[in-house]
Amino acid sequence: MNDLDPALQRVFQTVLDRNPGEAEFHQAVREVLESLNAVVARHPEYVDGSIIERLCEPERQLMFRVPWTDDQGNIHINRGFRVEFNSALGPFKGGLRFHPTVNLGIVKFLGFEQIFKNALTGLPIGGGKGGSDFDPKGRSDAEVMRFCQSLMTELYRHIGEYTDVPAGDIGVGGREIGYLFGQYKRITNRYESGVLTGKGLSYGGSQVRTEATGYGTVIFAREMLATRNQALSGRRVIVSGSGNVAIYAAQKAQQLGAHVVACSDSGGYVVDEDGIDVDLLRQVKDVERGRVADYAARRPKAVHHEGGSVWDVPCEIALPCATQNELDGDAARTLVGNGLLALAEGANMPSTPEAVQVFQEAGILFAPGKAANAGGVATSALEMQQNASRDSWHFDHTEKRLDQIMVDVHQRCAEAADTYGQPGNYVAGANISSFMQVADAMLAHGVI
């Protein structure tokens, strides 16, 4: 950990005091503040205007009861969350996560990261995040529908095309967004397409949104490698996770000629030396709602490892696409020892601070999630654009937009890192570039 400038240390202490026990939120704030060390010396106006302290305090935090009935008639009570973190650049924007580990601190860390990620896209979206401690695993479609309807029965009053626009995240995909949208439409009696993104293509969704996060992560990796005159072609790649982001990261890496040999879930990992069969993985995960072990059982050379760490598998490119803090210092040292060249985070904050330090000290190209996975929310903003103009674009056109957005995100990070004397440091570049944009808008809006 680096020391903080005294003004930033005071802000950090306030965050610790106001948000006790929220370790992931503290971690996310600390990382941004460390990057801002380089900024406050040149820009005292951000400290004088209490911009940084205001940025660390959400504009609004919602927490509510979500009762629902299972197929046997038992009543369950979950907790729903929406943290509307910052709307300086546009309506609050960010996903909903359904996972038993969701609590206020997790939602706050994700909402905080989202502010900076969304600014990096260059599109007019503020930052927010939400979700529930509901566990969709093993639940029937009817149970998931009733849960989504109950959640929306409270959430609807807080969201809207110009207010707050949720989307998916862990445990929330096309099925859940469909149920949520249906209930919003019914309660409000409005066909307000732009209230949610990640919608199905039959009712206002955008081409490429499903693929966008994984595709964008690989495009960012492509751009980083290009700075060293390297490419993905022929490289050995590992993704972690086997959900939405992992599947499409694997697909794009393969399109660029890479050899993707492993993926994982919370039960273990699979090594498939023939290369991951993305169509089969999608069938097992999306259609059958199965596990990577089920995938391995259908592939001749695939080996499933119960438990263990996917990061033990040697690779040149690593794409963590599962969850926060899934890759620690030991895993980072193993990866570096095995010849890692580059790592792009498809997940949000998957590398621990120690792991990031290991990568940076080893000179590995390292892309933080808020930059590398920004393609998902960026394509959500393209979905909002299409909804607002009652239009829908073709796949190729939308993918070209995504590609250019990721090239621009990479460029913004690289330039800010150079300007503030840390060339090649994408963590500093991402935090500084996005912070300046949000901070300038906040200064312009006055003390609100």
Tell me which residues touch ligand 2IT (CB under 6 A).
93-95, 114, 117, 167, 169, 197, 348, 376-377, 380
- For position 241 contacting ligand NDP by CB under 6 A, the verdict is yes
Residues of span 377-406 touching ligand NDP by CB under 6 A: none
Please name which of 309, 297, 303 lies closest in space to residue 266, comparing C-alpha atoms: 309
Residue 245 binds which of ligand NDP, ligand 2IT, none (CB < 5-8 A, kind-dependent): ligand NDP
Residue with smaller CB distance to ligand NDP, 287 or 444: 287
Residues 397 and 277: their CA atoms lie apart, in Å, by 26
Q: Which residue is nearest to ligand 2IT (CB)?
A: 95
- As measured in angstroms, the least distance from the Cβ of 95 to ligand 2IT is 3
Cα distance between residue 379 and residue 382, in whole Å: 5
- Where does residue 438 rank: exposed (0-12), middle (13-18), buried (19+ CB within 10 A)? buried
CB closer to ligand NDP, 325 vs 422: 325
Q: Which of 106, 152, 177, 321 binds ligand NDP (CB under 6 A)?
A: 321
Residue 236, φ and ψ in degrees, nearest 5: -90, 125
CA pseudo-torsion sign 287, 293, 298, 303: positive
Q: Which residues pair with 327 in a beta bridge?
A: 351
- Of 95 and 429, which CB lies nearer to ligand 2IT in the complex structure? 95
Q: Quote the least distance from Cβ 308 to ligand 2IT, whole Å.
A: 27
Which range in 11-19, 59-67, 342-350, 425-433 contacts ligand NDP by CB under 6 A?
342-350
Cα separation, 352 vs 113, in Å, equals 15
Q: Where are the beta strands (DSSP E) in 58-156?
A: 60-69, 75-86, 92-98, 127-132
**Among all residues, whose Cβ is closest to ligand NDP?**
243
- C-beta of 352 vs 380, nearer to ligand 2IT: 380
Name the token pair of 331: 């895993």
> Are the CB atoms for 120 and 430 separated by under 8 Å?
yes
Among 169, 272, 316, 399, binds ligand NDP (CB under 6 A): 169
Site residues, ligand NDP (CB under 6 A): 99, 101, 168-171, 213, 241-246, 265-267, 321-323, 346-348, 373, 376
